[in-house]
Structure 1
């Protein structure tokens, strides 16, 4: 019955109301079960999570609601990861993880190049004319950042890339409750690597902005995994999925 009510709320809900209802449902179940199990939050493509780069992150407002959850924020770019390590200290049970998710799911680990705007690593006070989100454009696609800012120089950065199952293994995770994905056009590949036979996140949120022709195929794939799929907004946050059964 609780799941039915939650699904009714989803039909005309904002992301904030969806997450609020989900966390309330989780807390209710935990109380009924006498304390509940440990919960986990995983964010892939976290960037720095500093005051500038949280402006377009729709779920960070809820991190304070889950102080006992284990939280893993995954960011492969060394300069961004260094800032991320400092940012996550404001939340208990939070960890920064320096990894990328490889587009190639058949390889457990590889070293791969990601391409970032050179000026995206500069502080704005040094004179760059790029917006605050310029350092969020790092991608395996060498043309991705250039399409946003033609003529701007791009830097290749070598990163350690692993498959989603390999990442879960390294983090020692047997379950994930909230899974957030923002990988600048490679979200579809990441979604398809989730081992749904072993983990059933209650919430999966991915960016659809750069998926283009693979957007609808990704939504259909999630429905085939018995998830209900909802468009959260038309630009920054892509799709929202909640399990139709269980959770």
Structure 2
């Protein structure tokens, strides 16, 4: 909150990916993500995937249209009961989908999970991440509810649901995306594309995730909220260079002042 104006999570994010950029870079990055997913779908035909923090399958969802098309097969993971019910309904009749009502962590068991009554998008293991949105609400803390959820590693979910080699891994878990990816053997499974939200991560945690992906050969393209990691050999290198340059050029046009820098 600056001068009474909510400037968004990215305005105080510590993530190493969070750079100053025009607000419309988010839309440009979103189009780059869509292009990458189009290219991958054209290349593979059927795309095996896993989505963690699927919510209702629609809200703020980069992969919804591809999953809805029936061209993708995989598992959607969502531990909160209310959005999980809507998730199943929103994909009713789409073949090749499985639904996992669990949460992803680095160990198997149960953990307290926080959700906001009336705003399913704010569900997380991290209460601090949820409460960072408090300036947008009259009484956010009073809206928070807790439930015990079953936890699995992402490796275990991939094996159980028959998606041992997902081409796409999409994660949006409000502050625990790095933990989710820590529970996946990225170096062995080698997903072609990994999508994750970074803006809630600390500098240390986001840097550790960045370094792991770079060491595994992934090319990273990002805006102030989300990141796209493309595995080596997935596309022609010049094509990836072009997509990265599209976002870089948008970022280079950052205005030094003004309320459009969210």
TM range (shorter): 0.7 to 0.9
Q: Does 1:25 align with 2:43?
A: yes
Residues 55-99 of structure 1, C-alpha deviations (whole Å, 9 max, x = no match): 42122122245x253221110012221221211214221222101
Q: TM-score, normalised by structure 1?
A: 0.73
Equivalent residues in 2 for 1:159-178, closer than 5 Å:
159-178=149-168
RMSD: 2.2
Q: Does 1:59 align with 2:67?
A: no
Work out which structure has the larger RCO, using CA pairs closer than 8 Å and 6 or more positions apart in sequence. 2
Distance 1:174 1:48 in 2: 24
- Contact 2:153–2:184 (CA under 8 A) maintained in structure 1: no
Distance 1:76 1:137 in 2: 12
Q: State the partner residue of 2:216.
A: 225
Q: State the partner residue of 1:81.
A: 84
- Contact 1:114–1:159 (CA under 8 A) maintained in structure 2: yes
Q: State the partner residue of 1:101.
A: 104
Q: TM-score, normalised by structure 2?
A: 0.69
Q: Does 1:16 align with 2:31?
A: no
Q: State the partner residue of 2:124.
A: 139
Residues 141-166 of structure 1, C-alpha deviations (whole Å, 9 max, x = no match): 12322221263211111111111122
Segments of structure 2 that go 5 or more residues without pairing to the other structure are: 1-28, 236-262
Question: What is the number of equivalent residue pairs in this alignment?
Answer: 200
Q: State the partner residue of 2:16.
A: none
Q: State the partner residue of 2:227.
A: 239
Q: State the partner residue of 1:125.
A: none
| Runs of 4+, deviation exceeding 3 Å | none
Query: Post-superposition shift, 1:138?
Result: 1.0
Distance 1:147 1:196 in 2: 30
Distance 1:18 1:246 in 2: 10
